[in-house]
Structures are given as structure tokens and as C-alpha cells.
């Protein structure tokens, strides 16, 4: 018989995805530009399931049952377009092309549009969980047409990881929705890691705790509301000793964070959508600062003034570990709330109709931000599909209310000690901004009206106004009365 599905692009992600599919009892056609990878896969793992190797794209396509389901797993960008261009002439109306790479959602929108014109379904799907996830069960975020999900969904749900009997895979929305959601997932991952790093830094600087002691702290935190993969592996990394020097591993790693770009994409998109994702933005910028090696060295050589106070003593130290835990939790709530706001905004902008509770559900397993916390987010959206902010959900509002004293203490302490905590402090500033009755944006509007006649609206009347600043200071209504 013919294969149920095909995978082309057999580097480690594609190979693992194909093995995962085969292990679930589906006949999987496998292909790669360089044929040796196909033979290697079959030689090494052929016993795991029903692999159908092909050395040409023509044979590969011919080995697939209709409608054909082809998963492309190549490097995002030009390679994806090259494979699509080669593939499309071999396909027939109704066939489904899946891009499981890390594409930018705008590229996915373009490709989906082009393929739809040719009668083909194009599914851009986020796949989270790295190499291990691809093999053992990733979190899968497929976009594209609903019709294509009917043919594809069952296989994807089979290979996705299960949490409490629910697969971490669901239909996300049309065209670029899947890749968009995957992008925001990565952005949230940046923010989460930055917050964890700030917690570590504050405790290490403020209390002089060793990495090994901090590993115990994170282990303990992992027993509570912060329980998550990232907190779990933070303890592992902090406990790890460097084999060659015996020093804490974290002390032998160059302190310059790198990035592959999805955090930057998230912030770029948020800027376009006008959504304040301060947690993600601060995380991207903190990585940029860490990577500014020349500038950092120049500053270190010259020396720039900082506070004299070093370590926390006495009452200042008392309860500080738990205060940082609470600050971390509250900041994390804000970062996730912002990420979900971005999904909301894009969903409206592009007409995707994304079910946010389902996104929290499929992030509970497989992916890097998997956490107990996501159950709370799912519950919040289950209670209210139209929730205007996660911070408005009773559970989260109360959690932040409980944490806020500690949160303020931690941010104030960071400022006093001169320990940078951009994630904690920007999250708090966002929270306080959102809470405010009157914001100083009124003054900004006034300034804009003075220097640029940009007009303003009044609190007590309809319409748009301008002050004749260079004349007698009287006010003019700018719009016509009948508007």
C-alpha cells in the first residue's frame, strides 16, 4: 500500500519526526536531498516502523496515499521555498504540504496564499520540544485550513505528547496562525528565562548564595506554583560542576546570551500590533546587552559608578528568598498575560479566531515553557472566552495581589543594590500602568498638541480639540460637530 504521510528533510528534527510517526504505526515515506540520509535512517531505525525510502522527490510523492500529506522539515527560509517549488508541480489538488520548520508567520501567510491558488493546502505548523520532543512527543501548533486539519490532525495528535489524556496538538487557525503562536511561545520562553536569571542573580548577589545552594532553592520552588520545566532545569544547570575545573558550571560559561531570532520576531510583531510585551522585549534587550562585549569591556575598564551597598543583612535579608519567589511568579504572570494579549491582537488583525485556552492546553507538554501554571491559564480562558487580560482572572488577580508587596520589595532592593532586574521591574511598571486611573499620557497628548498640533480628546466632551498655543490659548474643536 501507499504511505500515510511523507517527511522530506531528514536532518535530526525531520528524522526524529519521521521515527515518531513510524513508531505510532503509520507508514511514513522518507526523502532527503542528499540520499545518504535516507539510507542511514532506514539502516539505523528501520526496525522501529514502516519506512518507505525514496531517493527522488518523484518517487517520494508517488509513494504517498491521496490526499498526499507531505511534511517539509528543512532549514527555514530559502530552503523551504526551494523544496516547495520542487514539490508543487508533482502534487494534485487537495494535497497537503506541511512546513514544520521555524518559519516566520509572514512567510507562511505568503506560502499558504500561493499554494491555495494552486488548489493545495499549506499548513505552517509550530513544532516545539527540540530534537527530543520531535522523537518522544512534541507540542504541535498547526495552522492552515480547517479542512486540511481533518486529514492531518489525527496523525499529528498521535505523535504529539499527551498531558492528562489530551494531546498537545490542536488546530490553531488559518494561514500563519500556527507559526505565529509558536513564535509567541518562544518569546514567552525568552521572558521566562530572563526572569529566572534575574531571580538567580538577585539571590546570588544579595544573599551571597552559591550556585549549589541556589539549585536547592529552585528545586524547592519547583514543588509549588512555579513548577515548570524551566525551573527544573535551572536547578540542574546551577548544580552542575564543570568537569575540568570543579567550579560551578555557570561560572565557566561566557555570560553572553545568543539568540536565533524568534524573540526578536515576537517583539517586532508586537511593535507592529501595538501590544506592550515588555517582558519579552526586556529579555531580548538583556541578551543584546550581554552580547555587547566591546562596550561592556570598555565600561569595565573605565568603571561606572554604582551603589556602595553590597550584601543584604539582617532584616533586609530576612524572607528575601521567598520574596524573590513571589516576584518571579508575579512577573511571570505579567509576561504570559502580555504574550496572550499579542495572540489576541494578531487573531483579531488576521481573523484567525484563536482559542487561547487551547493554546495554554497544548503548551502543557512537549515544549520548553511547559508548566503547571498553564493549567491556570487554560482555566481562566475556559471561564471567560473574552477575558480582556489574564490579570483580570480571579486566580491571577489574587495571586498578584498576594505577591505584590514582595514584588515591590524585590524591585526596590534590586535598584538599591544596583543589580539589573529589567524583567521584574518592567513587569511591575506594566502592572502599575494598567492599574492606573489617570496616566501621564494626558501630558504626552498635551505636548503633542503644542509642538505638532496633533490634537487631543477631552474627558468631558466628544470630539477632537486643539489649543491655539501661539495665539490666545483658546481651544478649537477640530472635527465637525455632526461627525
- Taking the C-alpha atoms of residue 436 and residue 456, their distance in angstroms, rounded to an integer, is 20
Q: Is 117 a catalytic residue?
A: no
When asked if residue 6 is in the footprint of ligand 2AM (CB under 6 A), the reply is no
If one asks whether residue 269 binds ligand 2AM (CB under 6 A), the answer comes out as no
Instruction: State yes or no: residue 32 binds ligand 2AM (CB under 6 A).
Output: yes
Q: Is 20 known to sit in a ligand binding site?
A: no
Packing angle of the helix pair 422-435, 394-417 (nearest 10 deg): 130
1 labeled part of a ligand binding site: no
Interface region with ligand 2AM, contact rule CB under 6 A, candidates 6-14, 17-25, 189-197, 427-435: 6-14
Interface with ligand 2AM includes 34 (CB under 6 A)? yes
CB atoms within 10 A of CB 30: 27
- Closest distance of CB 260 from ligand 2AM, Å: 14
Mapping DSSP to helix (H, G, I), strand (E, B) and coil, where does residue 175 land?
coil
From residue 402, give the alpha-carbon distance in Å to each of 317, 325, 390, 398, 407. Answer: 20, 12, 16, 6, 9
Question: Residue 40 CB, nearest distance to ligand 2AM (Å)?
Answer: 10
Residue carrying the nine cell digits 539505523:
44
75-83, 119-127, 133-141, 238-246 -> range binding ligand 2AM (CB under 6 A)? 75-83
Q: Which stretch binds ligand 2AM (CB under 6 A): 28-36, 104-112, 179-187, 417-425?
A: 28-36
Annotated ligand binding at 452? The verdict is: no
Is residue 240 marked as binding?
Answer: no
As beta bridge partners, residue 56 has none
Instruction: Say whether residue 260 binds ligand 2AM (CB under 6 A).
Output: no
Distance, in Å, from the CA atom of 249 to the CA atom of 240, rounded to the nearest integer, reads: 6
Place of cell 489530551: 166
Catalytic residue among 112, 157, 182, 378: 182
Q: Is 14 helix (H, G, I), strand (E, B) or coil?
A: helix
- Report the distance separating Cα 461 and Cα 473, nearest Å: 19
Handedness of CA 346, 352, 356, 359 (dihedral sign): negative
* 302 in a known ligand binding site: no
Is 369 within 8 Å of 230 (Cβ atoms)?
yes
Is 182 tagged catalytic? yes
Number of residues that bind ligand 2AM (CB under 6 A): 12
What distance in Å separates the CA atoms of residue 56 and residue 59, rounded to the nearest whole number?
5
Q: Considering the complex, what minimum distance in angstroms separates the CB of residue 64 from ligand 2AM?
A: 17
Q: Is 160 helix (H, G, I), strand (E, B) or coil?
A: coil
Which of 27-35, 46-54, 287-295, 449-457 is the region at the interface with ligand 2AM (rule: CB under 6 A)?
Answer: 27-35
Residues 143/125, Cβ–Cβ less than 8 Å: yes
33 sits near ligand 2AM (criterion: CB under 6 A): yes
Burial class (CB in 10 A: 0-12, 13-18, 19+), 88: middle
Annotate 317-328 with b (16+ C-beta within 10 A) or e (fewer).
eeebbebbbbbb
H or E stretch including 5? strand 5-8
Helices (H) and strands (E) in the chain, counts: 21, 11
**Binding status of residue 9 toward ligand 2AM by CB under 6 A:** yes
Contact between 55 and ligand 2AM by CB under 6 A: the answer reads no
Which residue of the set 157, 189, 198, 282 is catalytic? 189
Asked if 154 and 71 count as a contact pair (C-beta separation under 8 A), the reply is: no
The answer to the question of residue 10 lying near ligand 2AM (CB under 6 A) is yes
Smallest gap from Cβ 15 to ligand 2AM, in A, equals 8
Q: Which of 82, 271, 439, 444 binds ligand 2AM (CB under 6 A)?
A: 82
Residue 260 annotated as part of some ligand binding site: yes
Report the C-alpha dihedral over residues 138, 141, 142, 146, rounded to 10 degrees.
Answer: 120
The verdict on whether residue 187 carries a ligand-binding annotation is: no
Q: Which stretch binds ligand 2AM (CB under 6 A): 47-55, 74-82, 184-192, 387-395?
A: 74-82
Instruction: Tell me whether residue 78 is annotated as binding.
Output: no
Smallest gap from residue 258 Cβ to ligand 2AM (A): 19
Shortest CB 79 distance to ligand 2AM, Å: 3
Residue 28 known to bind ligand: no
Give how far the C-alpha of residue 344 lies from the chain's centroid of Cα atoms, to the nearest Å.
Answer: 14
The reply to whether omega before 396 is within 30° of 0 (cis) is: no
Give me the least distance between CB of 74 and ligand 2AM, in Å please: 3
Residues at the contact surface with ligand 2AM, assessed by CB under 6 A:
9-11, 32-34, 37, 74-75, 79, 82-83
**Residues contributing to the annotated binding site:** 9-14, 32-34, 74-76, 102, 128-130, 185-186, 190, 260, 287, 448, 454
**Residues contributing to the annotated binding site for substrate:** 102, 128-130, 185-186, 190, 260, 287, 448, 454
Catalytically active residues are 182, 189
Amino acid at each position: 500500500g501507499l504511505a500515510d504521510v511523507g517527511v522530506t528533510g531528514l536532518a535530526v528534527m525531520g528524522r526524529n519526526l519521521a521515527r515518531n510517526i513510524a513508531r505510532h504505526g503509520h507508514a511514513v515515506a522518507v526523502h532527503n536531498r542528499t540520499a545518504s540520509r535516507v539510507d542511514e535512517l532506514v539502516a539505523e531505525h528501520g526496525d522501529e516502523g514502516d519506512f518507505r525510502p525514496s531517493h527522488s522527490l518523484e518517487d517520494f510523492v508517488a509513494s504517498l496515499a491521496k490526499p498526499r500529506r507531505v511534511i517539509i522539515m528543512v532549514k527555514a527560509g530559502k530552503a523551504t521555498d526551494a523544496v516547495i517549488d520542487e514539490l508543487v508541480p508533482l502534487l494534485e489538488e487537495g494535497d497537503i504540504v506541511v512546513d514544520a520548520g521555524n518559519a516566520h508567520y509572514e512567510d507562511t501567510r505568503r506560502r499558504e496564499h500561493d499554494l491555495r491558488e494552486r488548489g493545495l493546502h499549506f499548513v505552517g505548523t509550530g513544532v516545539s520540544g527540540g530534537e527530543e520532543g520531535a522523537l518522544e512527543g512534541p507540542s504541535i501548533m498547526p495552522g492552515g485550513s480547517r479542512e486540511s486539519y481533518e486529514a492531518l490532525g489525527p496523525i499529528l495528535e498521535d505523535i504529539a505528547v499527551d498531558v492528562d489524556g489530551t494531546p498537545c496538538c490542536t488546530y490553531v487557525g488559518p494561514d500563519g496562525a500556527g507559526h505565529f503562536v509558536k513564535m509567541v511561545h518562544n518569546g514567552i520562553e525568552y521572558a521566562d528565562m530572563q526572569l529566572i536569571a534575574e531571580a538567580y542573580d538577585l539571590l546570588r548577589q544579595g544573599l551571597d548564595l552559591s550556585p549549589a545552594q541556589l539549585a536547592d532553592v529552585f528545586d524547592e520552588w519547583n514543588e509549588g506554583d512555579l513548577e515548570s520545566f524551566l525551573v527544573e532545569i535551572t536547578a540542574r544547570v546551577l548544580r552542575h560542576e564543570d568537569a575540568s575545573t570543579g567550579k560551578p558550571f555557570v561560572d565557566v560559561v561566557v555570560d553572553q546570551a545568543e539568540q536565533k531570532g524568534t524573540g526578536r520576531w515576537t517583539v517586532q510583531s508586537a511593535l507592529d500590533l501595538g501590544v506592550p510585551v515588555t517582558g519579552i522585549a526586556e529579555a531580548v534587550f538583556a541578551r543584546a546587552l550581554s552580547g555587547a562585549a566591546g562596550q561592556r569591556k570598555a565600561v569595565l575598564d573605565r568603571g561606572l559608578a554604582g551603589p556602595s551597598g553590597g550584601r543584604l543583612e539582617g532584616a533586609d535579608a530576612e524572607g528575601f528568598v521567598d520574596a524573590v519567589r513571589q516576584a518571579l511568579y508575579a512577573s511571570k504572570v505579567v509576561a504570559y498575560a502580555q504574550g496572550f494579549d499579542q495572540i489576541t491582537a494578531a487573531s483579531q488583525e488576521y481573523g484567525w479566531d484563536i482559542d487561547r485556552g487551547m493554546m495554554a492546553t497544548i503548551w502543557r507538554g512537549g515544549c520548553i515553557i511547559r508548566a503547571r501554571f498553564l493549567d491556570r491559564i487554560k482555566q481562566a480562558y475556559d471561564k471567560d472566552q473574552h477575558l480582556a487580560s489574564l490579570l483580570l482572572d480571579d486566580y491571577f488577580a489574587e495571586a498578584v495581589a498576594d505577591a505584590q508587596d514582595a514584588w515591590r520589595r524585590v524591585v526596590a532592593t534590586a535598584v538599591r543594590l544596583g543589580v539589573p532586574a529589567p524583567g521584574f521591574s518592567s513587569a511591575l511598571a506594566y502592572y502599575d500602568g494598567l492599574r492606573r486611573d489617570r496616566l501621564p499620557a494626558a501630558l504626552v497628548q498635551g505636548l503633542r498638541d503644542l509642538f505638532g498640533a496633533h490634537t487631543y480628546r477631552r474627558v468631558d466632551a466628544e470630539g477632537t480639540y486643539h489649543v491655539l498655543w501661539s495665539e490666545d490659548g483658546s481651544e478649537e474643536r477640530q472635527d465637525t460637530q455632526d461627525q
